[in-house]
Amino acid sequence: MSAADLFRQFESHLRAIGRYPPPRPSARPEVGYWRHGIRMPALRRLVAQHARAFKQLSPSEQRNLTEELLAEGSDEAAQAGFLLLGRVLDMHTPFPATTLDRMAGSLRDWAATDTFCTNVLHTLVLREPDRILPLLERWSTSALRWKRRASVVAFARKVGASGRFTQEGIAACERLITDEDDLVRKGIGWALKDMMKGDKSSVLGYVAELRRRGISAVITLYAMKDLVGMERARLLAIEPRRPS
């Protein structure tokens, strides 16, 4: 399997739906990915067609192909790479930290960042926390907003629901709690919301303290999305402390 095989599938799909050739603006990291125009359900089907061939590659070939897809510059290629890699992580033990860091450094939008987190990073956090958690801490100070977002979204979904990393997740959120980037803030809120599924008491207490500190409502309201009734009402009633 090669990247060209997947790109030919992209072309065939786009021709079939009358969207070929796709518009292709200059892809610069500060601008973001360009897009072929393939919706996620169709992309998942295309990826599934190549899953067996991808699995037959060696681990190093799989990682190299993923990075080749990332380098192509489109959102679909980046997400396809992470979707494929996420299927074979059991072949990558341990996963090379330098490669993971390069992949995170190639991120250019929230969609690919979240696909990276949910398909690759979450499994690695659960499997190799001693190696991955220090890497996430370094990402929290990155100038790249997507690395910062990944450093907290790493604690969403199954990682948060496991209840195994509540304190590490809260610490990750606290490191970025005053970040002014809206998508980083939403990532913090998402992580807190999902961590409540694994340790509700601890995370509720932290969110209450954030309300008292006057931390951005983008974070706290997102964290409260799944709350109803009195639990939600009590948090909403908390007013920021007045400066002494």
Provide the residue range defining the domain that includes 71. 1-92
Identify the three-state secondary structure at position 23.
coil
Rg from Cα positions in the chain:
19
Regarding whether 147 and 40 lie in a shared domain, the answer is no
pLDDT digits (tens, 9 = 90+) for 46-60: 999 999 999 999 999
Q: 44 and 133: one domain?
A: no
**Binning pLDDT at 50, 70 and 90, where does residue 241 land?**
confident
pLDDT for res 28 = 54
Looking at the structure, do residues 44 and 119 belong to the same domain, yes or no? no
Residues 77 and 102 in one domain: no
Q: Are 82 and 129 part of one and the same domain?
A: no
**Sorting pLDDT into bands at 50, 70 and 90, what band is 123?**
very high
Segment 149-178 shows an average pLDDT of 98
pLDDT at position 30: 52
For the chain, what is the mean pLDDT?
94
The answer, yes or no, to whether residue 29 has pLDDT greater than 60, is: no
pLDDT at 244 over 70: no
pLDDT digits (tens, 9 = 90+) for 69-97: 999 989 999 999 999 999 999 999 999 99
Question: What is the rounded average pLDDT of the residues 27-51?
Answer: 84
List pLDDT tens digits, range 170-190. 999 999 999 999 999 999 999
- Answer yes or no: is pLDDT of 133 > 80: yes
pLDDT tens-place string over residues 198-222? 999 999 999 999 999 999 999 999 9
- Of 58, 92, 126, which residue constitutes the final position of a domain? 92
For residues 73 and 143, membership in a common domain is answered with no
Domain shared by 160 and 208, yes or no: yes
- The reported pLDDT for the residue numbered 135 is 98
26 Rama class: left (phi>0) / alpha (psi -120 to 50) / beta: beta
- The answer to whether residues 46 and 159 belong to one domain is no
If asked whether residues 123 and 226 sit together in one domain, one would say: yes
Share of the chain above pLDDT 70, in %: 96
> Token match 């192509």: residue?
72
Confidence band for 65, pLDDT divided at 50, 70 and 90? very high
Domain count of the chain? 2
CA distance 69 to 44: 15
Residue 20, Ramachandran bin (φ over 0: left; ψ between -120 and 50: alpha; else beta)? beta
Listed residues 92, 113, 131: the one ending a domain: 92
Quote the DSSP letter at residue 57.
S
Residue 48 sits in the same domain as residue 69: yes
Please, which residues have CB within 8 angstroms of residue 156's CB and are 6 or more apart in sequence?
117, 118, 122, 187, 190, 191, 193, 194, 195
156-180: average pLDDT = 98
pLDDT at 37: 87
For residue 109, what is the domain's CATH number?
A: 1.25.10.90
What CA–CA distance (Å, rounded) separates 217 from 23? 37
Query: Residue 71 phi/psi, 5° resolution?
Result: -70, -15
How many Cβ atoms from other residues are within 10 Å of residue 44's Cβ? 13
Note whether 13 and 85 are same-domain residues.
yes
In this structure, are 150 and 225 located in the same domain?
A: yes
Q: Shortest CA distance to 240 belongs to which of 210, 199, 205?
A: 210
pLDDT cut 90: percent of the chain above it = 82
At residue 31, the pLDDT reads 63
